[in-house]
């Protein structure tokens, strides 16, 4: 009888221990599961916020960019005076642009470019000058400053965003031409000409922008 009583006590003790451990384990598992779910949700929310800050919410934001490109001319720039200088038909130009986004896909911009090219005359031979030979040299330079305002439309709201745009403006040109001729006996005459001119500018552009972060992008 005593043996049965002890067995019953042991059984009740086991049942009590199991009744305590099982709910505690289940509660701990549930808490860990909820924590993991919360961590995943927080991580997804942070990734979404980071993505939003990089890809969208560009409305009312300003963008400042500096670029370098090539200008191609159908006709070389020439002087119509005493002589002429030929400039390359393909010259590099720097461009500074400021843009404001009216919406996620539409922006207006103002652009200022500068192109400088100098044609240096060949250095005359000193011995030829001293011997009295005729000297004829010419050189000059040109500065072009395209100024324009325009609008760009972006087809996507993603990190990679192709766009198309147009702009209108003017090109300010400043040209200087220098010619020297003569000899050591009669003297060397120097003739200098300066010209200023303006020309209308119409731009059609297309390309893409790839945003690498909140503040930087490649165009």
Candidates 50, 165, 51, 49; CA nearest to 105 is 165
Residue-level pLDDT at 81? 45
In terms of domains, do 27 and 125 share one?
Answer: no
Question: Which is more confidently placed, 187 or 170?
Answer: 170
In terms of domains, do 21 and 83 share one?
Answer: no
CA-to-CA distance for 149 and 209, rounded, in angstroms?
19
Which residues are CB-contacts of 97 (< 8 A; sequence separation ≥ 6)?
Answer: 63, 64, 65, 66, 67, 109, 110, 111, 112
As for how many domains the chain has, the answer is 2
65-79, 135-149, 150-164: lowest mean pLDDT where?
A: 65-79
In terms of domains, do 17 and 117 share one?
Answer: no
CA-to-CA distance for 51 and 55, rounded, in angstroms?
6
In terms of domains, do 65 and 168 share one?
Answer: yes
CA-to-CA distance for 57 and 49, rounded, in angstroms?
11
Candidates 136, 152, 146; CA nearest to 103 is 152
C-beta neighbour count of 97 within 10 angstroms:
18
pLDDT tens per residue, range 18-37: 555 555 555 555 566 567 67
Burial of 178 (0-12, 13-18, 19+ CB in 10 A): middle
In terms of domains, do 65 and 45 share one?
Answer: no
In terms of domains, do 154 and 178 share one?
Answer: yes
**Residue that is last in its domain, among 55, 76, 95:** 55
Print the domain residue range for 83: 60-218
pLDDT tens per residue, range 114-156: 988 887 777 777 676 667 677 777 778 888 899 999 999 988 8
Q: Kindly indicate the confidence band of residue 99, based on its pLDDT and cuts at 50, 70 and 90.
A: very high
Kindly state the tokens that stand for 70. Answer: 């090539």
In terms of domains, do 83 and 146 share one?
Answer: yes
Question: Which is more confidently placed, 182 or 196?
Answer: 196
In terms of domains, do 39 and 109 share one?
Answer: no
Phi, psi for residue 157 in degrees, rounded to 5: -105, 25
In terms of domains, do 88 and 161 share one?
Answer: yes
In terms of domains, do 74 and 177 share one?
Answer: yes
In terms of domains, do 109 and 172 share one?
Answer: yes
Q: Percent of the chain, pLDDT > 90?
A: 13
**Residue that is last in its domain, among 22, 37, 55:** 55
In terms of domains, do 70 and 10 share one?
Answer: no
């Amino acid at each position: 009888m005593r043996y049965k009583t002890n067995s019953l006590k042991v059984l009740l003790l086991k049942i009590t221990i199991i009744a305590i451990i099982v709910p505690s384990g289940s509660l701990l598992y549930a808490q860990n599961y909820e924590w993991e779910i919360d961590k995943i949700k927080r991580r997804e929310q942070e990734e979404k916020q980071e993505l939003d800050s990089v890809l969208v919410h560009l409305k009312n934001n300003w963008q400042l960019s500096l670029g370098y490109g090539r200008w191609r001319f159908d006709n070389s720039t020439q002087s119509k005076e005493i002589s002429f200088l030929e400039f390359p038909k393909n010259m590099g130009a720097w461009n500074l642009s400021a843009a404001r986004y009216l919406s996620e896909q539409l922006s207006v911009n103002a652009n200022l470019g500068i192109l400088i090219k100098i044609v240096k005359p060949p250095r005359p031979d000193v011995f030829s000058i001293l011997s009295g030979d005729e000297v004829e040299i010419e050189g000059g330079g040109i500065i072009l400053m395209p100024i324009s305002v325009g609008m760009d439309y972006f087809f996507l709201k993603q990190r990679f965003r192709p766009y198309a745009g147009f702009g209108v403006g003017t090109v300010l040109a400043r040209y200087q031409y220098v010619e020297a001729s003569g000899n050591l006996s009669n003297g060397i005459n120097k003739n200098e000409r300066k010209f200023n001119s303006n020309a209308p500018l119409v731009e059609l552009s297309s390309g893409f922008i790839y945003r690498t972060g909140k503040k930087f992008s490649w165009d």
